[in-house]
Amino acid sequence: MSLLRLDVDDRQVVMHSAGAVCASTQELVESAAFARVLDLYIDQLESHNPAALDDLGLDLEADQASGAVVTSAGAQVDARRARLLDLIRLLANNPLERVARTWAGPGDLLAGRERLHEFVEGLYDFWRRWDRFLVVRADAAAQPGDKRPLRAFSQTVETLARLVRDLYRDVAENVTGGRPRVYRQVAAGAEVGVYAVHQKWPAPTRYRELLAGIPFVRNLLMYPPLLLDPPTNTRTGQFTEVADNPLDGLSLEREQWLCYPALVGRLVVFVYFHQRFAGLGLSLANLFEVASDEEIAAGPDALYLYGVPPAALARFGELPTVFHKDAASRVLVAAVPLEDRFGYFGYLKKMVLTLHNVAVMDRGLMPFHGAYTRLVLADGAAAGVLIIGDTATGKSETLEALRIVGDERIREVRVIADDMGSLEVAADGRVLGYGTEIGAFVRLDDLQQGYAFGQMDRAIIMSPNRVNARVVLPVTSLEDVLRGYPVDYLLYANNYEAVDDEHPVLERLPEQDAALAVFTDGAAMSKGTTTSTGLTNSYFANPFGPAQRQEQHEALARKTFAAAYAAGVYVGQLRTQLGLPGAESAGPRAAAEALLELIAGGGAPPAASSGAPWGPLESKGA
C-alpha cells in the first residue's frame, strides 16, 4: 500500500499518497496502514472494553505473565496484537474452518466464531467513525486536455473504497461461513478525495518562503451526504483589522497544509488550512468554486491561513481572529489559530467573506450581508429581491419558503447571493447586485420540512446532533453570481417583531434616512449561531468588513440607497419572525406569501432586465 503518510487524530484520518494506494485486498490487509488502524482499535478496546479482547481467547498463559514476546529484530511486540493481525490477514483469503485446522496459536477459533465476528464488525465501525480524507499529490498540474491524471485520481479514490468494503466482507463472510442478503455500498474508503498539485503563483517575497511547497486543491471527489462533527458549533465575536501583519514571523509545517483557491465573487482568495481542519477546509467545495490554473497564476486578492500555531497570534489578544491590509504587497491577509474553539465552519466562511467585503469597498462597491434572488413569475414578470439581515434572521429561509409557496406561480428562482454580495450603481443609475458563493451554509432546523432531505445527495451536514446544526450545499452557478442583476426590492430581515396590525409582514420605508436608520441599526434576535443571546445590534447587519470600516461603508451606503430610491426600488423591512419561539417555520412562510402577493399584484417596479455582466474592477489591492 503506497501511502506516504497516515495521519490520525481523535476525529479524522488523513491519508497521503502520490498515486495508486493499493491494487488488492491482500495488499491492503498486509499494509502497515492496516496494522496501525488495527492497533488503534485494540488500544480503544483495552481502554473501554477489555473483556471483548479477553473473550477472543488468544492469550497464552506465558504471554499473560510477561505481556510481550521478543521478535528476531529484538523489538517487543504485544503477543495478542500480533496474533490478531496474523489472524485477520489469514481470514482475508481463507474460511475460518481452514484457518482453524492450521492455527498454531491459542484458543478454539471455531468455538469463538461469534466473538471473532463481533471483533471484525467493531473494527469496521471503528474505521468508519473517523472523517476520512485521501490526498493524492502531484508535482505538476495536468496539461490542458489531458484527462489521464484526473481519471487516475478518481480511480484511486474509488478503488480504495471498493477494496476496504471487499476486505471487510471477505473477512466477515470467512468468519461466519455465510453471506448477507443485503449489501450496503457505504463510502468505506475516503469520504473525500483531494487531487493536490504544486502550482506557481507570483508570491510576494515576504510570503514566498512561508507558503512555498503547499499544494493547491485542484479537484475533489466526495461521497455525500458527508456528516461532520467539528470541534465547536458556534462563532464568537468579530474579526479584527490589525495594523501588524499576522503572517510576519510565522513558521508552518508545510506538509500539514493544503490550499483551497476560492473564487469569491470576482475575487480570488487562497485559503490555506491545516489538515486538522481538513473537513472544514474541504467543505469549501460546496460553497465556492475552485479557481482555475490561470486565476491561480495571476495571484490572489487575499490570503487566509486557517489553523496557524496559536503562539504566533498570541500578541493579538484573547480572540486572535485578525486580518490586515498589506498595501505594499497589494493583498489582504488573515489568520486564525489552530485551536478547537475556532473549529467551526463559520470562522472559515465568514473570514473569507470579510476579506471579500473589504476588498470590494476598496473598489467602490457596497457589500451586503443578505440573500439576493431573481424571481420570474408564470406571467413573465421578473423581480430582483434582496433581503439584508444578520445571521439567522430568515433571509435564506424566506427565499426557500418562496420556492414552496410559489410552486405554481413562479417559473424560475435564481439565487444570486445566499449570504453575502455587493451592490454597484451602474452608469444608467440602476443598482446591480452580485453574489459571492455558489453554495449555502444554513441552519438545518430552519429549512422547510423535507428540503434538506431532497438535497441530501449533495449535502455536507455539520453538527447534526447539536444546536445550530448546519448544512452546506450548492445552490447556484458562478455565472448567476457574477452576472449583475438589477435590484427591485431592498428589504431588511426583521426577525424579532411579531406581526400585528401595527407591524405588517411587509412595510415600505418611503424615506431614505428612515430606511438607512433601520438598516444601520442592524437589530436581530440571536438564534444560537454565535455566542450572543437576546436582541443584538450590528452595524448594517454586517460585522464582516463594514463594521470595521464604518466611515468608508457609510459613504457607499448613502450613495447606493440614493440610487435605489431614484430608480424606484421598493425599500422596506420584511418581518420573518424567525427569532420568535414557535414561528421558525411559519414566520418565513408568511413572509414569503406576502412578498409573492406584492410582486404578483403589481407591487414590483417595471420588470427588470436580465442583467449585465460585472464591469471591470480596479487592479488588485487598489
Could you tell me if 398 and 574 are in contact, meaning their C-beta atoms sit under 8 angstroms apart? yes
- What residue numbers bound the domain in which 114 lies? 3-59+81-176
Same domain, yes or no, for 357 and 399?
no
Place of cell 484527462: 147
Lowest mean pLDDT among 157-166, 205-214, 412-421, 450-459: 450-459
pLDDT at 63 over 70: no
Give me the CATH number covering residue 312. Answer: 3.40.449
The pLDDT confidence band at residue 189, using thresholds 50, 70 and 90, is: very high
From residue 68, alpha-carbon distances to 47, 104, 219 in Å are 18, 17, 46
Could you tell me if 541 and 389 are in contact, meaning their C-beta atoms sit under 8 angstroms apart? yes
Residue that is last in its domain, among 176, 192, 227 = 176
Same domain, yes or no, for 87 and 101?
yes
What per-residue confidence (pLDDT) applies to 397?
A: 82
Same domain, yes or no, for 324 and 376?
no
- Whole-number percent of the chain with pLDDT over 90: 76
Residue that is last in its domain, among 176, 198, 225 = 176
What per-residue confidence (pLDDT) applies to 394?
A: 86
What per-residue confidence (pLDDT) applies to 531?
A: 57
Residue 447: inside a domain: no
Same domain, yes or no, for 405 and 269?
no
Give me the CATH number covering residue 566. Answer: 3.90.228.20
pLDDT at 457 over 60: yes
Same domain, yes or no, for 267 and 320?
yes
**pLDDT (mean) for 466-487:** 93
What per-residue confidence (pLDDT) applies to 57?
A: 86
Residue 446: inside a domain: no
Residue 608: inside a domain: no
Number of independent structural domains in the chain? 3
pLDDT in tens, 377-403: 998 889 999 999 988 888 878 887 888
pLDDT at 4 over 90: no
pLDDT in tens, 19-34: 889 999 999 999 999 9
Same domain, yes or no, for 86 and 216?
no
pLDDT at 620 over 50: no
What per-residue confidence (pLDDT) applies to 449?
A: 55
pLDDT in tens, 101-110: 999 888 899 9
What per-residue confidence (pLDDT) applies to 15?
A: 97
Q: Which residues contact 514 (CB under 8 A, 6 or more apart)?
A: none
Same domain, yes or no, for 307 and 235?
yes
**pLDDT (mean) for 161-187:** 95
What per-residue confidence (pLDDT) applies to 66?
A: 46
Spatial separation of the C-alpha atoms in residues 35 and 27, rounded to whole Å: 12
Spatial separation of the C-alpha atoms in residues 241 and 541, rounded to whole Å: 18
What per-residue confidence (pLDDT) applies to 155?
A: 94
What per-residue confidence (pLDDT) applies to 99?
A: 96
Same domain, yes or no, for 236 and 212?
yes
The pLDDT confidence band at residue 448, using thresholds 50, 70 and 90, is: low
The pLDDT confidence band at residue 602, using thresholds 50, 70 and 90, is: low
What per-residue confidence (pLDDT) applies to 504?
A: 96
Q: pTM of the prediction?
A: 0.89
Spatial separation of the C-alpha atoms in residues 66 and 68, rounded to whole Å: 6
Spatial separation of the C-alpha atoms in residues 253 and 312, rounded to whole Å: 13
Residue 201: inside a domain: no
The pLDDT confidence band at residue 604, using thresholds 50, 70 and 90, is: very low
Residue 461: inside a domain: no
CA atoms within 13 A on the CB side of 198: 11
Lowest mean pLDDT among 38-47, 148-157, 505-514: 148-157
Residue that is last in its domain, among 159, 176, 193 = 176
What per-residue confidence (pLDDT) applies to 408?
A: 87
Angle at 455 between CA 387 and CA 354, to 5 degrees: 40
Q: What is the DSSP string of 547-573?
A: TTTHHHHHHHHHHHHHHHHHTT-EEEE
Residue 614: inside a domain: no
Same domain, yes or no, for 282 and 424?
no
Residue 611: inside a domain: no
What's the whole-number average pLDDT of the chain?
90
Residue 622: inside a domain: no
Same domain, yes or no, for 320 and 341?
yes
Same domain, yes or no, for 291 and 151?
no
**pLDDT (mean) for 81-92:** 96
Q: Which three cell numbers stand for residue 125?
A: 465501525
**pLDDT (mean) for 276-283:** 98
What per-residue confidence (pLDDT) applies to 404?
A: 86
pLDDT: which is higher, 587 or 619: 587
**pLDDT (mean) for 242-269:** 97
Same domain, yes or no, for 290 and 395?
no
